[in-house]
Each structure stands twice: as C-alpha cells, then as structure tokens.
Copies of this chain bind each other. A is one copy, B any other.
Amino acid sequence: MSPAPLERIPPCSGRAIELETGDELVVIDPQGQQVSDLTAFSRDDLAEYLSSGRSIDYAARLWLSTGDTLYSNRSRPMFTILEDTCGRHDFTLTPCSKEMFEKLYDEAEGRPGCEGNLASALAPWGIGRDRIPVAFNIFMNVTFDAASGAVAVLPPLSKAGDHIRLRAEMPLVVAMTACSAGQSNNFSYKPIDYRIDRARAE
C-alpha cells in the first residue's frame, strides 16, 4: 500500500470518490461524535447499489462491524469491514434531508442535508436524490426498544480519532458526508476525515 494523504469533508457537506477492488477506505471521526452517511454504487453498473436490507439479512444483525460484509441489492459483496474502533453504526435510516429537517426539526431554511449533499457529490455520475437509499450511517448511534420498536437517535459513541476501514470488493463510486443533522451528531456539526489506501500505486 502506498501512503495516502488525509482528506477532510467540511461540516455539512459531502464528497464522492472512486475505488478499485482491493482499495481500502478509512473513514475517521477527527473530533468525536460526528456521523458520516455513506452510500455506494457499482462503477460497472450504477443500478447496483449498497443495500441495507440485504446486508442486515445476511449478517442477521442490525449493527455491522469488523468482519462483516456490506452487500449490494444484487447480493454481491461491496465492502468488507476490516477494522472498526467505534463499533456502532446505523443502517436503518435514510440520510437527513430538507424535508426531514422540516418534519422533525421544524427548520425551514432548506438546508440540503446529507441526502442533498450525497446527490450533489454524485451528480457527475448522473445519480440524483431519488436514488439515494438507506445509507450506512457511520458512527450514528441509533437504539431500538426490543418491546415497542421505539427508535432513539443518541449522540455517537465515537471519540476523536475513531475510524472504520472498508475494503472495496468491486469497483465502486462511493459518496459520504459530514452529517448535517443536529440530533445525529449531538448538535456539533463537525468535519469528517478520510483516507484511501490504494491497493496499487497510482
């Protein structure tokens, strides 16, 4: 692996990147208690996307961590989680959006949210808002009451420097954010860092 520079996603924004098979994407919470919504598409056929429902079904667990595989809607591995120093991420909720801010936060400013930021980042690949699925919400701490099914969004468990390392299992277009939703990041709106350790020198 060649050493890779650290990239920063500024607060309330998104970024898209391309990965080759075997490349490793490290997503880092530099200051602690911040969330990064991540979604991915097969670069060879953008109709194939990261599927929460398939991944949860095959793991038989809501929360995925080291050793788990993230699957596409076609049941093919997209990522393997190689390392995870936080241990809690959500895979049930859609990215925050303008409409979500209106409904849940009574906000009328029209901030794009992670959904809009993911779509802007993916625009060069022709992927719009309608095609942003339930994301892998890295560091997002969502709990469930086993009896009532009640959902609670709590401050992330991530501390400064916590990270997750994902190996690409196919050529991918990946989009990720520094989350815009107050409740998800304990109203701190921090940046997210990432690094790509390439399988082959560029």
A residues lining the B interface (CB < 8 Å) = 47-48, 51-54, 56-63, 73-75, 92-94, 97, 99-100, 103-104, 129-130, 132-134, 143-146, 148-152
Contacts and interface: CB of A to CB of B under 8 A. Distances in A.
B149 A146 contact: no
B93 A57 contact: yes
A149 B53 contact: no
Contacts of A99: 74-75
B149 A93 contact: no
Contacts of A58: 100, 103-104
A150 B56 CA distance: 9
Contact of A94 (B53, B59, B130): B53
Contacts of A103: 58, 75
Given A57-B93, A74-B99, A92-B62, A52 B104 contact: no
A58 B129 CA distance: 18
A94 B51 contact: yes
A75 B98 CA distance: 10
18 contacts: A51-B94, A52-B52, A52-B134, A53-B133, A56-B92, A56-B93, A57-B104, A59-B151, A60-B152, A61-B149, A62-B144, A62-B151, A63-B149, A73-B130, A73-B132, A74-B99, A75-B103, A144-B146
B94 A54 contact: yes
Given A130-B47, A134-B134, A146-B143, A100 B57 contact: yes
A99 B74 CA distance: 8
A133 B132 CA distance: 11
A91 B169 CA distance: 27
Contacts of A94: 51, 53-54, 57, 73
Contacts of A56: 92-93, 151
Contacts of A59: 151
A88 B124 CA distance: 42
A48 B129 CA distance: 10
